[in-house]
Amino acid sequence: MLKKDLRKIKSSQPLYIRLYEVLREYIESEEARKTGKLPKELELCRIFHVSRNTVSQALFMLEEEQLICRIKHRGTFLASAMNEFDPQNIRRTIGIVFPAGSAWEDTIKAIRSGCQKLGYEFRLFTYNWDDREDELKVIAKAEKLCGAMILYPGGTGESVEHIQQKSRSYPLVLFDLYIIGRKCNLVTTDHFQGAYSLVQTLINKRCRKFAILDSQWKNSSIRLRLSGYIQALEDHHLPYKLIDISENQLQTLDFDAILDPGCTWLHKALENKKIWLARFDQTDETEKELYRTLIARQNKSALGLNAVTLIKEIMRSGHAPERSVLISPEIVE
């Protein structure tokens, strides 16, 4: 019987903790398994003589443990009693953990659309790109509230090992940050091939003197792009120079092309010089009017749809062999 006077329970814990413990015990009872749900919040307030805030706090703790699922206009259900194919079952909720900002809006839209087509609930979480603690905090929240996760790891790259330890038991797909030397499920741009194709295109434009812009960021994607540039130049027996420049040094440059592994400001500074610039895109803005700029544009919609497809396979099978889905970028100028 779901009725206790919380104030008579000998405990130094706050009321919401006491209510949480009572409800947790009830959830495991035969009575709860028969009904498959908890009373409404206002009814719980009346039963236990507590405020709605106390009830909400207790239910939030149960929801974090994936013991219940609160559905607007439907009520609070036991997670174990929900239909496996109910789109609001926590086990059919995919958490999308991405850095805050607008750079990946098209990808997120593609992931949302893919989730809806497959009957999965979509839940977006964002964090500060270069703040490891914020990233880990958001990841932990998503893991508690969602049955699976598509994660774009942060700029520091320090969270990946922590997350991979969980991926053995939790459905997880890493997004667009290739982990060199590690086995994991991931969907990413083929940064190496994109860089290689940029060099080949510039060679076809009769470029022979190359410089590679040194990047301050040394995450795995940047390293793969650098490797692609260097491999293409070596395959064609062309020399190159690694440079680190500022705007006031541009007047002395004597190259046919500058290869940037990131998303540089140089396209504006090079407008009056006959130097090609090759780089990777950051947004989906139309940049075809940029003078002598060659861009490896990432197919963000395809990346998003492939991420949903892969996480679906992992969720349905319970376990899937590690797969790396690499999508080549489009070369545009």
Indicate the DSSP class of residue 230.
Answer: H
pLDDT of residue 176 exceeding 70: yes
Structure tokens at 203: 């060679």
Which one is predicted more confidently, 158 or 303?
303
265 lies in a domain? yes
Q: Is the pLDDT of residue 286 over 60?
A: no
Residue 1 belongs to a domain: no
**In terms of domains, do 203 and 184 share one?**
no
Determine, yes or no, domain membership for 175. Answer: yes
pLDDT digits (tens, 9 = 90+) for 6-56: 766 767 788 898 899 889 888 888 888 888 889 999 999 988 888 999 999
Q: pTM of this prediction?
A: 0.69
CA–CA separation, 190 vs 178, rounded Å? Answer: 9
48 and 172 both lie in a single domain: no
Please state, in angstroms and rounded to a whole number, the distance separating the CA atoms of residues 329 and 36: 49
- Domain span at residue 10 reads 6-81
| Pair 120, 66 in one domain | no
Q: Which helix (H) or strand (E) holds 71?
A: strand 68-71
Q: How far is CA 243 from CA 178, 254, 286, in A?
A: 25, 12, 28
| Same domain assignment for residues 123 and 265 | no
Tokens of 104: 């990946």
**Tokens in use for 109?**
């839209």
Number of structural domains in the chain: 3
Q: Alpha helices of 236-317 — where are they, by DSSP H?
A: 266-269, 300-317
Q: In terms of domains, do 67 and 11 share one?
A: yes
184 and 208 both lie in a single domain: no
Neighbouring residues of 180: CB distance < 8 A, sequence distance ≥ 6: 220, 223, 224
| 210 and 284 belong to one structural domain | yes
- Whether 314 and 291 share a structural domain: no
How high is the pLDDT of residue 326?
A: 92
C-beta of residue 158 within 8 angstroms of C-beta of residue 132: yes
The answer for residues whose C-beta is within 8 angstroms of residue 162's C-beta and 6 or more apart is: 136
Domain-embedded: residue 169: yes
Claim to verify: residue 185 and residue 306 sit in the same structural domain: yes
Same-domain status, 35 and 11: yes
